[in-house]
Structure 1
Amino acid sequence: MKKNIFFLLLLLSIFSCKQNLEESSPLDTSKIIKLPKLENIHTYIQLPKSEDRICRNGIKWAKKDIEKGELVFSMPSGEGDYDLRQEKYIRILCKKHNLIFRFEMIDDAPVEEGMQGCYGAYMDNMIAKKFNSNFKQNLLNEADIMLSKSNDTIRSWDCDIKPKIEGLTSENSIHILLDAKFKKQLAKDKIYYGAGIDIRFYIDKKGKHSGYHLDDYNRLEKNNREKYKVQFVKAGIDQLKKYQKCSAGEIKGQKVITKQTIRTYFN
């Protein structure tokens, strides 16, 4: 009988502890912001969550700018790279339509949780009301067409179709076999050359490349590297010139002038 009472008390104790544990540490859902998908941001800004200070502040700043008479053509910009290939022509077109072009910084790792890009989304809605829902994309397309018809130099990775150099096993690197005598001298001076160098050049609308110059030499070891700088660069350019057949980069179906960087490895 005593054993049964003890067992019953043990079960009640375990149940009570479990219940107290659940009651003392509930999931505080009030601190969690479930962020909408990026494509829904224009809907989300109509009623952002009260906890979402990032989005609410973005909307607040947008409203202040509008009150000052600034209707902003905003584009997101991440850390490290702030370029927009048609930025030059977007600025021209924005001026024509009395708009201000501005980048909105989007952090890769925001300090607090919330929806970024609400400033731009609010401005997009205001632009759509003033013009039409397709206005922003149409302006970007128009700027792209202006760019494609120009003689501006475009970075190869900004093209719709990247330029190609036929014969390369990789689109952005070449390998050069050094002669034994040169390698022996490099070993004597303790120069590690495997990391290679970067050579920049240009490919015109006809697919011809020219204008070779050293882009980055810091991949080689510092010790005595200046002593062999000319030899390394000459070897890289001489090898690159062997690949004469190229195709130009394209934007909106138009061939454009591009600048290209090739990593040159020495073996």
Structure 2
Amino acid sequence: MKIVFSIFFLLLITGCTDKNLETESVDEVIPNPQEVLRDYVKNPKTNDRICKDDIERAQKDLGKYKNIYVSTSCFGCKSLLYEDEILEYSTKQKFKVINYDFSCVIIDGQTQGCYKAFIDLEMEKVHGKNFRQKIEKEAEKLMIENIKNHDKVLSIFDLSENDKPHFIKEDNLIKQGYIPTIKTGLPLKNAKSNSIFLDVSFIIEKNGKVSTLKNENWVTEAVENEKYKSELEIIAKNTILTNYNNWKPGKYKNTIARVKNYFRVDFE
């Protein structure tokens, strides 16, 4: 953050008034929250029960396991693409992977994250400052290897816009995860006034073709439509296979990947 202090000097020269602006730029260093927490766990406040309990738990786990890698999770948080590979690689390196779940409830004066901070400090004494980055880098390499040789499937939601698979004749509706409403010819109850739809997942293969279609969700407000569920599922899947089976495949770091995608299919 730049804080600019402006000092104005009033100078009287030959009967004229002139203003000169002199500025001094100061860099204000904002501490990294993780570094602040790492310092804090060395001497937490007496009444910070959550943090002190976390540290006590960490000490017990360090007594049970020689090496620990702490993964984290919370509602709405984005996880690493290679979480599975972190577990796989860490296990090979004789690290115990333990998940720390951040609560959505924030309590004044109570600090979350002390478990991970305390464990990381202890692990750095043995494995160096960047031990987590080393594990994650190797896990990412392993994931790319799994994409290439073991058909690992990625989610479309985990990829950047440029890396996502794109339908060859893509429009805004398809980009949003929909296809045009299917006119079934079936006597569906309240089809025009109430939504009747299926959420269908499918995998876009490395060759751009669609496979492994699955009904993930079925919604109808009219009980009378339940008898058509199986038939509508067949119609939805056949429509996707027939009309939406030509994609530019997805990728991760220039590695072509199998990607799971979803369509919401409406009926009338």
When normalised by structure 2's length, the TM-score is 0.73
Structure 2 counterpart SS, 1:196: strand
Partner in structure 2 of residue 87 of structure 1:
83
Structure 2 counterpart SS, 1:186: coil
CA drift of 1:93 comes to 1.8
Q: Please, which of 175, 178, 191 is the counterpart of residue 180 of structure 2?
A: 175
Structure 2 counterpart SS, 1:149: helix
CA shift digits 1:41-94 (9 cap, x unpaired): 223323323222111211111112212344320011124889754233222221
Matched, 1:163 2:168: no
Q: By percentage of residues, which structure has more helix?
A: 1
What is the root-mean-square deviation in Å for CA atoms of aligned residues?
2.9
Matched, 1:136 2:132: yes
User: Distance between the aligned counterparts of 1:129 and 1:256, measured in 2?
Assistant: 38
Q: By percentage of residues, which structure has more strand?
A: 2
Is the alpha carbon distance of 1:93 and 1:196 closer, same or farther for their aligned partners in structure 2, counting shifts above 3 Å? same
Partner in structure 1 of residue 112 of structure 2:
116
What are the equivalent positions in structure 2 for 1:171-210 lying under 5 Å apart? Answer: 171-178=176-183, 182=186, 185-187=187-189, 194-210=195-211
**Is the CA contact (8 Å cut-off) linking 1:144 and 1:251 kept in structure 2?**
no
Amino acid across the alignment from 1:223: V
Higher relative contact order (CA 8 A, sep 6+): 1
User: Distance between the aligned counterparts of 2:196 and 2:118, measured in 1?
Assistant: 47
User: Distance between the aligned counterparts of 1:173 and 1:44, measured in 2?
Assistant: 49
Matched, 1:215 2:216: yes
Is the alpha carbon distance of 1:236 and 1:192 closer, same or farther for their aligned partners in structure 2, counting shifts above 3 Å? farther
User: Distance between the aligned counterparts of 2:50 and 2:228, measured in 1?
Assistant: 53
User: Distance between the aligned counterparts of 1:101 and 1:191, measured in 2?
Assistant: 51
Matched, 1:107 2:112: no
**Is the CA contact (8 Å cut-off) linking 1:197 and 1:263 kept in structure 2?**
yes
**Is the CA contact (8 Å cut-off) linking 1:59 and 1:119 kept in structure 2?**
yes
Is the alpha carbon distance of 1:65 and 1:149 closer, same or farther for their aligned partners in structure 2, counting shifts above 3 Å? same
Matched, 1:57 2:62: no
Query: Percent sequence identity over matched residues?
Result: 24
Partner in structure 2 of residue 227 of structure 1:
227
Amino acid across the alignment from 1:88: D
**Is the CA contact (8 Å cut-off) linking 2:220 and 2:226 kept in structure 1?**
no
**Is the CA contact (8 Å cut-off) linking 1:175 and 1:266 kept in structure 2?**
no
**Is the CA contact (8 Å cut-off) linking 2:70 and 2:116 kept in structure 1?**
yes
Structure 1, unmatched stretches of 5+, are: 1-35
Structure 2, unmatched stretches of 5+, are: 1-31
Amino acid across the alignment from 1:257: R
CA drift of 1:201 comes to 0.9
CA shift digits 1:99-143 (9 cap, x unpaired): 101111111125665221211111112222211222212211221
